[in-house]
């Protein structure tokens, strides 16, 4: 039973300019009796998420809408546990699978096979898990002998096929995505859609950020509109997309 | 409050240890990346270390008038271990900084990034240690089974280096000048520690301070002494164990307190 509870969560990014970054300079200020205050050290704070209170239950498929810079990616990162709240409380129960960037961690000099182990390890799979699924991943990607070639020899489509095949092997309780994964040529895309649906069906909570009205209406049963780090609207996909897109 | 944060630190470290598969894969990838498409590969490390040992050994052995069969094994063991120690400390400082892309993208326990540094350097140590039996053969000394006693010493050394690397990693992520200070400090320590000079050459009064108060002397001794058919003194063991305990308590407190801030500092 997965669940996510946020209570007055804030995410504040401190922006350190050169004078705060260097310890030597701080000692120098103390030695000469200079004023040490937040203003003097010139620290600017960017508040990315403000007083977010939210509960996501088992079975929720949430779509995140908002303009660029509204806080969607930051919220996804908060959900995945990359950022812990600067203030407030966040309780996330359940195994998390983050498909925010499917080709993250791929080493272009290593072979496709080695990269499957690498990407799999980053996603949380052990070598034994990966070995068991290795044939399935290679077959799905249809890369053939190229699987033993360095990834730098792949076309960008092949690269995405590899990334997609290994990334969609996970079966997390909470799945986080930044835009729907739609990769490959016509032939691959049909199988990819089926695989994505299989993955989404197997999860308990889905949170996906998107700019596509159709996607949110088709895939989600709840939509949240973020603006400047705050929730502007939280309701059914029909209502929120109607308000956000205007039709 | 402090109990919670220390528990958070312990949990981060135990989950990192459970991800040994990931640490192993990333560490190996780091070493392989450096030597792609080269034929000798990582054994270039061995060759360059060997050349340095031969050069310093012959020149300084003559200067100090030390017998080669005593000086060369002492020097090789010391240089190999010092390279291990100083590289872990230096790379540990920028452990989290180097992992910035991963830290901001995937929810992986933070200590994985430090353990990756340690694993990678253990792999390099394994390549470098090949020189030692060669040196023994060159001075016509035979290794005994007692060299295996170096292994518990190595484990204790690794435990100490882990806390130092995590502690420095946290501080250096916030204050970007510390890596420079650490690097200068290590250069000085290299000369203050008996690596290039035998401790027997030291006048006894100075010896007491330079050796006993130098933690790195104790760290190196627990591994080097068995390799040289000697035994590390009780003092060496006590200091190393004591520093491990105090160091880990300090590190868990610091790491626990600032762990959540690291992603924001990057």
pLDDT of B190-239, one tens digit each?
Answer: 999 999 888 887 777 777 777 888 999 999 999 999 988 888 889 899 99
Does residue A31 register a pLDDT over 50? no
Residues of chain B with pLDDT under 50: 1
**Is the torsion defined by CA of B116, B118, B123, B124 positive or negative?**
positive
Query: By CA distance, what is A87's nearest residue in B?
Result: B260
pLDDT at B61: 85
- Pair type for strands A44-56 and A3-15: antiparallel
Mutate to test the interface with A, among B28, B99, B264, B266 (most CBs of A within 10 A): B264
Spacing of C-alpha A176 from chain mean position: 5
Alpha-carbon separation of residue B109 from A81, A87, A97, A169, B99 (angstroms):
10, 21, 14, 21, 12
**Residue environment code for A163-199, b if the CB has 16+ CB neighbours within 10 A, otherwise e:** bbbbbbbbebbbbbbbebbebbeeebeeebeebbeeb
What domains can be seen in chain A, in order of their start residue?
A: 3-94+209-245 (3.40.50.300), 99-203 (3.40.50.300)
Handedness of CA B24, B19, B109, A69 (dihedral sign): positive
- What pLDDT is attached to residue A176? 93
Chain A residues touching residue B176 (CB < 8 angstroms): 21-22
Percent of the residues in chain A that have a pLDDT greater than 90, as a whole number? 45
Work out the pLDDT band at A53, boundaries 50, 70, 90: very high
Burial B28-60, CB ≥16 within 10 A → b, else e: bbbbbeeeeeeeeebeebbeebbeebbebbeee
A176 contacts A76 by C-beta, under 8 angstroms:
yes
Which pLDDT band, with edges at 50, 70 and 90, does A24 fall under? low
List A residues 23-42 in contact with B (Cβ-Cβ < 8 A).
Answer: 23-24
User: Average pLDDT over chain B, rounded to whole?
Assistant: 90
Cβ–Cβ of A82/B176 closer than 8 Å?
no
Residue A146 in this model has a pLDDT that exceeds 80:
yes
CA atoms of A142 and A139, how far apart (whole Å): 5
User: How does pLDDT run across A92-122, given as a tens digit for each residue?
Assistant: 999 999 988 888 888 898 999 999 999 999 9
Main-chain phi, psi angles of B35, to 5 degrees = -120, 25
Reported ipTM: the value is 0.82
Please count the residue pairs, one from chain A and one from chain B, whose beta carbons lie less than 8 angstroms apart: 67
* Global pTM value: 0.87
Sorted by where each begins, the domain ranges of chain B are 2-265
Does A20 contact chain B (CB < 8 Å)? no
- Across the beta sheet with A96-99, the strand order is A96-99, A174-178, A205-209, A61-66, A222-227, A230-235
A10 touches chain B (CB under 8 A): no
At residue A22, the pLDDT reads 53
């Amino acid at each position: 039973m997965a669940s996510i509870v946020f209570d007055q969560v804030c995410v504040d990014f401190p922006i350190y300019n050169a004078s705060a970054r260097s310890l030597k300079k701080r000692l120098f200020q103390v030695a000469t009796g200079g004023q040490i205050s937040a203003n003097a050290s010139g620290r600017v704070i960017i508040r990315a998420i403000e007083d977010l209170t939210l509960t996501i239950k088992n079975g929720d498929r949430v779509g995140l809408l908002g303009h660029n810079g509204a806080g969607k990616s930051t919220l996804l990162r908060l959900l995945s546990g990359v950022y812990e709240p600067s203030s407030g409380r966040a309780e996330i129960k359940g195994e998390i699978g983050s498909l925010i960037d499917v080709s993250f961690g791929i080493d272009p000099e290593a072979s496709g096979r080695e990269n499957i182990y690498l990407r799999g390890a980053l996603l949380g799979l052990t070598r034994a898990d990966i070995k068991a699924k290795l044939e399935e991943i290679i077959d799905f990607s249809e890369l053939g002998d190229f699987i033993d070639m360095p990834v730098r020899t792949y076309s960008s489509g092949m690269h995405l096929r590899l990334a997609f095949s290994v990334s969609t092997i996970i079966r997390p309780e909470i799945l986080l995505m930044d835009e729907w994964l739609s990769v490959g040529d016509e032939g691959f895309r049909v199988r990819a859609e089926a695989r994505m649906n299989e993955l989404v069906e197997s999860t308990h909570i889905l949170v996906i950020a998107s700019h596509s009205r159709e996607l949110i209406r088709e895939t989600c049963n709840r939509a949240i509109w973020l603006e400047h780090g705050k929730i502007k609207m939280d309701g059914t996909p029909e209502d929120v997309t109607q308000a956000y897109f205007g039709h | 409050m402090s109990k919670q944060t220390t528990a958070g630190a312990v949990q981060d470290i135990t989950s990192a240890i459970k991800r040994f598969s990931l640490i192993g894969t990333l560490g190996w990838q780091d070493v392989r990346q450096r030597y792609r498409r080269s034929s000798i590969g990582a054994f270039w490390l061995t060759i360059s270390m060997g050349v340095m040992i031969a050069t310093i050994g012959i020149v300084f052995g003559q200067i100090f008038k030390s017998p080669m069969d005593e000086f060369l094994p002492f020097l090789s063991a010391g240089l190999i271990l010092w390279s291990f120690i100083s590289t872990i400390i230096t790379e540990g400082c920028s452990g989290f900084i180097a992992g910035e892309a991963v830290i901001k993208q995937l929810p992986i326990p933070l200590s994985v990034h430090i353990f990756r540094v340690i694993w990678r350097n253990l792999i390099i140590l394994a390549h470098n240690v090949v020189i030692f039996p060669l040196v023994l053969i060159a001075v016509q000394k035979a290794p005994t089974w007692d060299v295996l006693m170096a292994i518990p010493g190595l484990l204790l050394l690794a435990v100490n280096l882990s806390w130092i690397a995590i502690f420095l990693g946290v501080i250096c992520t916030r204050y970007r000048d510390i890596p420079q200070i650490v690097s200068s400090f290590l250069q000085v320590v290299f000369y203050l520690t008996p690596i290039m000079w035998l401790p027997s050459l030291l006048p006894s009064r100075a010896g007491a301070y330079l050796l006993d108060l130098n933690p790195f002397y104790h760290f190196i001794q627990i591994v080097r002494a068995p390799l040289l058919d000697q035994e590390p003194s009780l003092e060496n063991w006590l200091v190393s164990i004591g520093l491990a305990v105090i160091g880990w308590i300090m590190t868990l407190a610091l790491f626990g307190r600032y762990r959540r801030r690291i992603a924001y500092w990057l």
